Amino acid sequence: MKKSVKILALLLALCMLASMAACGSKQETPAAPANNGSSTETKTETKTETKPEAKPAADLHCAVDAETVVVCTADETPSVTCRDHNAVAGGYVNHLTYETLLALDRALAPQPCLAESYTYEEQADGSVLWTFNLRHGVKYHNGAEMKAEDVVASLEEAKVMPKVATYAQSFNNVTAKDDYTVTMTTDGPSASLLYDLCSNGNSICPADLIKSGHDFNVEPIGTGPYKMTEWKISESLTFVAHEDYLRGAPQIKTVIWKIIPEGSARTIALQAHEVDYVIELDSNDMKLVEDDPNLTLMNIDGLSHNWLTINNEVKPFDNKLVRKAMNAAINKEDVVTVALNGAGIVAPGQTPYGQLGFDGTGYDHYDVELAKKYAAESGVDMSTISFDIICSDDTKRRAAQVVQDNLTSLFGMNITLSSMDLATYLSETAAGNFEGFIGGYTSSDMMSFLKGVYHSSNINASNKTRTNDPQLDAMIEKALATVDNAAREEVLKECSRYLNELCCQIPLYQKATLSAHNANLQGCFTGASGRFWVEEWYWE
């Protein structure tokens, strides 16, 4: 018996030693250049005309060589076409191979891309005719030149593809006037057209290939900076630089796109220099990356607005004061700490902070006394309220635990938490079979956000609070029809203020976009929407 105990102790000690060896501090690695120390980057890196000579590959600690970047991401794209998916993972890949008539710039404003310029004029019947002048000499990966008929074929195809058709509803009658001019109409003035045309679903592909039934999922042909050469299912995708690219061939000649689903495995691969860029860094590893002089952390305020959705059709949540009392009673700082490990900001309003038209006026922040005041005015005994919060992943569950704790301790509410897989959660919440759930919405423009989340036409779909407010609908429609930026911003701000007062749901946080890369990789910029531009990267 005594012997066995000794053996057990010895084995456990060995096991602990192995664990400690594995978890111990990293070996000394050569220091990175001083200007590339770990930092939380929110800066815009300016691309210079002449870049310094790259160091030898060995000094760069790059995964492969000085002309290659290995990017790693959590999810594999379901498709490399531009119209047969609506996945975020697919969007990243689409940005490498395809381009659109217009594209969102770093400030999320639509700018000419394949189109050189555009004009619009109102017609006698109230519709608006838009004319897009295309760039000359834009080459596809197969060497063909982009012409107006390609735009017509691409946008017509987008209209009938269910996964992207949402972004092809604003335009009609797409016509090629000549090889480099395309016209289309909108039912009236439409600000959403410009944003819709930036969507990956409206990417331009060769008309002859579309008509011949070319399999773009095997060979994606676009005008983007990179051409896909290989797709090893579940493993990686390989892209090579498009030498005839419109804005000049990218400096990075090969991009290897690896799929590593597990967060800590991605970080280990980055630290071990097996990959050069991690798109989705696990928030648990933020400190680890910050402390590593060979790595750079990018912590960007994101646009993903997350909230406690409450069903406004269910009593007592149809009472605005009850909703406002709940909103003021929840400590959102705690939610950010517990749910996101601090990788995010407290949502400062009912609409996403950072987008054109955000206004926090009239929004109630965490204030226990204010919460009590609203509760007293509501005429509802808050302690009698009981409801269930549905959570579809761990982050949401942690957020719900803080909400549960705050509302129970202040008002004595009876709150239960339940978990559902994503498919069930999406169906149940769209059908209105819930009282509360932790949800969110990500959009790169305020109009899509407002239309999706609050317009009554999206009840039973993305309007999960089931808000049905004619005044709000009218404001959203007015914003959609206001083409002038400054005027639209005013309408959107008015909408934001109205929503802050209405308090349809309880905003919790805006998740940060966390990425990390080898400190010697330069030109990396990530926008608030999570978009990044691989064609601007280079080794230094």
Task: Write the CA distances from 345 to 216, 302, 303, 339, 510, integer angstroms.
Answer: 39, 9, 10, 11, 5
Residue closer to other proteins by CB (options 133, 238) is 238
Q: How far is the CB of 536 from other proteins (least distance, A)?
A: 26
Question: CB neighbours (10 Å) of residue 136?
Answer: 11
As measured in angstroms, the least distance from the Cβ of 234 to other proteins is 3
Q: Which is nearer to other proteins, 17 or 249 (CB)?
A: 17
Q: CB 75 → other proteins: shortest distance, Å?
A: 9
- In sequence order, the 6+-apart residues with CB closer than 8 A to the CB of 376 are none
If the CB atoms of residues 18 and 376 are measured against other proteins, the closer one turns out to be 18
Task: Enumerate the β-bridge partners of residue 344.
Answer: 511
The smaller minimum CB distance to other proteins, of residues 18 and 58, is found at: 18
List interacting residues with other proteins (CB under 8 A): 3-4, 7-8, 11, 15, 18-19, 21-24, 26-27, 78-79, 84, 86, 162-163, 165-166, 217, 232-236, 258-262, 264-265, 268-269, 271-272, 274, 421-428, 430, 439-441, 443, 452, 458, 460-462
The string of DSSP letters for 483-532 reads -SHHHHHHHHHHHHHHHHHH--SEEEEEEEEEEEEETTEES--B-TTS-B
* Least gap, CB of 244 to other proteins (angstroms): 29
Rounded least distance, CB 441 to other proteins, Å: 7
Which residue, 28 or 49, is less far from other proteins as judged by CB? 28
CA gap 498, 78 in Å, rounded: 39
Q: Tell the smallest beta-carbon distance from residue 107 to other proteins (Å).
A: 22
Of the two residues 260 and 336, which places its CB atom closer to other proteins in the complex? 260
Q: Hey, what amino acid is at 283?
A: S
Comparing CB distances to other proteins, the nearer of 41 and 157 is 157
Q: How far is CA 420 from CA 53, 75, 435, 438, in A?
A: 53, 20, 14, 11
Shortest distance, CB of residue 77 to other proteins, whole angstroms?
9
Q: Helix, strand or coil for residue 81? A: coil
Q: Which two tokens stand for residue 140?
A: 């596809």
Reading the block at residue 17, the tokens are 């030693």
What CA–CA distance (Å, rounded) separates 361 from 516?
35
